[in-house]
Structure 1
Amino acid sequence: MDAPLLDLRDIRKTYPSDRGPLRVLDGVSISLRAGETLALTGESGSGKSTLLHLSGGLDQPDSGEVLLDGRDIGQLDDAARARVRRSRIGLIFQQFNLVPSLTVEKNISLQARLANRHDAPFAAELAGRLGLADLLTRYPEQLSGGQQQRVAIARALVSRPALILADEPTGNLDEDTGDTVLGLLLALVAETGAGLLMVTHSPRLADSLQRRVHLSRGRLEG
């Protein structure tokens, strides 16, 4: 069997707090293969977002390994982790994180251009499939929440990353819009063969993915 795309091994992470060190993750191990979709559920404060940030090289674990394609990105310096994110990882945040001064078209292409992997025809195809073709000259403030989330999805997918990390990607949307956005995301992920790790508080949305794991007080359950 092929090696995992993402392999988290015995991850531990502690942050300082007013009451002393706060252990957020306590020996978490998860693996994800290319083409697989995995939902990460858990109550608020259980460590879900921290685990996602470690998986994307946005932070480093205190101990344990964060292996992407067999390479421990947790041991890389900031610049090296940024290069990995640009070339191998697509990030989708609950707050969208679009650049206010850039048009929809330029927001979509930003990460791909930074990685020298911009494919204009593919970007146009994504925009069309996500219902953004008529909005390319608009700015984020001129869009609805659902439209902004579609832009964020297009931006994450346009460079054809191996790994998609999504943090509550429908958390700010109504149920119908959220279902539509998630359906488009899953279809596009399936077509590109990427692995998807999605944080969600919704058991209903989690059931839309192939696998599901639950995090509680920094440990996996079940």
Structure 2
Amino acid sequence: MLLELRDIKKSFTGAEGPVPVLRGVDLALGAGESLALTGESGSGKSTLLHLVGGLDRPDSGRITVAGEDVTALDDRGRAALRRGTVGVVFQQFNLIPSLDIAANIAFQARLAGRHDAALAQDLAERLGLAAHLSKYPEQLSGGQQQRTAIARALAARPRLVLADEPTGNLDEATAEAVLGAMLELVAETGAALLMVTHSAHHAARMGRRLHLRAGRIA
């Protein structure tokens, strides 16, 4: 398995004490597989993605990505994981304002030491960004910025792609095209895709679907 979660638990501190968010989640995902994670708001979906991406730590349990124990890594190790192994597409675009779109797309791949100009150009064309490569993030619409964030994550050829509502800022037609491109590229590179979505239609396009309810896989 490329990704394995074993008995993951996570709580946050509330006004009256700890508030459980994840209550013992088990999950496995193999290379080349795509998995949709669905659930109501507050069910712990985004928290789970943050834990897998090394952006936070679980209270207990074990997460392994490509055989590496993420829960045992320090801050530097988790940052290296996101540079080289995991591509992250969250709802916040986190583009670099001082870089044009071409440089934003190439940014993570350059950090990982595997920038491929041909792949970056192909991604830009597939995601409808080829005419905007010399522009800056502030000159693009929210949907175009989201597509740039997706291209940046895929350009580094990650082994695992984490996507939190990646088409949430896109119109339906564009969302279909972007999702199709993501699935094609994941299949071509043998990566795994874990996507959080509220859309039953988009979830149905994934290879597998799991539902998170009250911090547990239902």
Return the TM-score normalized by structure 2: 0.97
Q: Shift of the alpha carbon at 1:75?
A: 1.3
1:143 corresponds to 2:140 = yes
- Matched ranges for 1:12-161 at <5 A: 12-161=9-158
Identity %: 64
Q: Which runs of 5+ in 1 are unaligned?
A: none
One-letter amino acid of the structure 2 residue matched with residue 107 of structure 1: N
Superposed CA offset, 1:10-48 (max 9, x none): 000011011210111000000000000000000000000
Q: Secondary structure at the match of 2:147?
A: helix
Contact 2:137/2:145, CA 8 A, preserved across alignment: yes
One-letter amino acid of the structure 2 residue matched with residue 195 of structure 1: A
One-letter amino acid of the structure 2 residue matched with residue 218 of structure 1: G
- Matched ranges for 1:162-177 at <5 A: 162-177=159-174
Q: Shift of the alpha carbon at 1:128?
A: 2.1
- Cα distance in 1, alignment partners of residues 13 and 22 from structure 2: 13
One-letter amino acid of the structure 2 residue matched with residue 95 of structure 1: Q
Counting matched residue pairs gives 218
- Cα distance in 1, alignment partners of residues 82 and 53 from structure 2: 7
* Structure 1 range deviating more: 5-14 or 92-101: 92-101
1:215 corresponds to 2:215 = no
- Cα distance in 2, alignment partners of residues 77 and 7 from structure 1: 19
Q: Shift of the alpha carbon at 1:113?
A: 1.2
Q: Shift of the alpha carbon at 1:204?
A: 1.4
The runs of at least 4 aligned residues of structure 1 exceeding 3 Å deviation read none
One-letter amino acid of the structure 1 residue matched with residue 81 of structure 2: V
* 1:7 corresponding residue in structure 2: 4
Superposed CA offset, 1:52-96 (max 9, x none): 011111111111000112221111101111001100011111222
- Cα distance in 2, alignment partners of residues 176 and 145 from structure 1: 15
- Cα distance in 2, alignment partners of residues 177 and 116 from structure 1: 31
Q: Shift of the alpha carbon at 1:118?
A: 1.3
Q: Which runs of 5+ in 2 are unaligned?
A: none
* 2:184 corresponding residue in structure 1: 187
Q: Shift of the alpha carbon at 1:104?
A: 0.2
- Cα distance in 2, alignment partners of residues 164 and 118 from structure 1: 17
One-letter amino acid of the structure 2 residue matched with residue 137 of structure 1: S
- Cα distance in 2, alignment partners of residues 121 and 205 from structure 1: 28
- Cα distance in 2, alignment partners of residues 54 and 40 from structure 1: 14
One-letter amino acid of the structure 2 residue matched with residue 58 of structure 1: L
RMSD: 1.1
Superposed CA offset, 1:101-144 (max 9, x none): 21001100111111222122221222222222221110111112
Contact 2:32/2:190, CA 8 A, preserved across alignment: yes
* Structure 1 range deviating more: 207-216 or 142-151: 142-151
- Cα distance in 2, alignment partners of residues 166 and 188 from structure 1: 14
